[in-house]
Amino acid sequence: MTTIIEHKSYARIGLLGNPSDVYFGKTISFSLGNFWAEVKLKPSDELKIEPNPHHDFVNFKSLNHLVKRLETEGYYGGVRLLMAICRVFWKYCKENGIDLHDRNFTLSYDTNVPRQTGLSGSSAIVSAALNCLLDFYKVRHLIKVEVRPNLVLSAENELGIVAGLQDRVAQIYGGLVYMDFSKEYMDKLGYGIYKAMDANLLPPLHLIYAENPSDSGKVHSTVRQRWLNGDKFIISSMSEVANLAFEGQKALLEKNYTKLAELMNRNFDLRRSMFGDDVLGALNIKMIEVARSVGAAAKFTGSGGAAVVYCPDGPSQVKRLEDACQQVGFIVQTVKVMPSFLSEADPQALPQTPLNTKSHV
């Protein structure tokens, strides 16, 4: 009887601290149950990577259809992601003396994560595929949980996707996670210190995004180079962004949601001051402005394309948010937080390493 291995990996929301994960910072993120990617692995005589009929288009109605598809969806679907994680997984196992059997498989995938919404749809595909490979080769116990997000990131880096570890940590661990990427940890361990938090500490949150984003910020950012060059404004601002996550952890533990709202708004304001409106894109800025117009707190879920919103005044404010979004064509959804995936189902529990509580990056 053929055993099919299936794994889902969920979209993620960066609640506080992003994008400081790329700058030895701190973040709080959680896995988003509204959207996911699913990967299936079934044994086969030859190793096959199956294209998805909706996301790996090769047939078009016309040349005009092809061009429009490329302009909205880009050149690539998920096949390249599956191929990349296979290579990264094989290479890691070889370099670390982990023996793999020689049986073959077929990988296929599907996803409902909206494109260009900053919800980590690509890494959801990769992390789900990694879980399938861990189970197929029965090596889950040999590859540390802390290392798995690095493998996902390495696969995406091979394809030229520039990102940090935050998204992959949230998707590998699941639930609500506080992450400390301080340089001392990254240099010594090769990964950050990750701590599970009770997802019930979160207040009701909402997600807003555009169904067909046309302006997601196309201008290249110089922030990374400025940071590398020692730009004092960027360094100090990124340090403050990281400290928002540190303060946010305390606010959540105390259920101080007034403070949480302040931190969310400050996170966006700092990002805007560093990156500028041309990089952020008019549509992304409009999402935040619409949320703030009804008195809600809002920030990007990631690099732009969607916003996470907190309405401190409750249902009446949520209704005003929905009405305001409807007027400009934004979609609003209530956020569903997934529980942690690392429980008795995984031989490695979520690390509970004590965190260095210093508030600097």
Residues serving a catalytic function are 167
Label residues 94-122 b or e (16+ Cβ within 10 Å = b): eeeeeeeeeeebbbbbbbebbbbbbbbbb
Letter for the amino acid at 56? D
- Token pair 């996911």 is found at 36
**Burial tier of 17 (Cβ tally within 10 Å: 0-12, 13-18, 19+):** buried
Q: How far apart are CA 239 and CA 274, in angstroms?
A: 12
Q: For residue 161, which of 185, 125, 214, 109 has the smallest C-alpha distance?
A: 125
- Which residues, listed in sequence order, are joined to residue 12 by a DSSP beta bridge? 31
**Token couple for 64:** 């005009």
CA 239 from centroid of its chain's CA atoms: 21
Q: How far apart are CA 70 and CA 255, in angstroms?
A: 45
**Token couple for 323:** 């009405």
- Token pair 């997802």 is found at 199
User: CB–CB of 299/288 below 8 Å?
Assistant: yes
CA 50 from centroid of its chain's CA atoms: 24
CA 126 from centroid of its chain's CA atoms: 12
User: CB–CB of 194/147 below 8 Å?
Assistant: no
Give the up-direction half-sphere exposure of residue 58: CA atoms within 13 A in the CB hemisphere. 7
Q: How far apart are CA 138 and CA 35, in angstroms?
A: 27
Residue 253: CB atoms within 10 Å: 12
Q: How far apart are CA 185 and CA 26, in angstroms?
A: 12
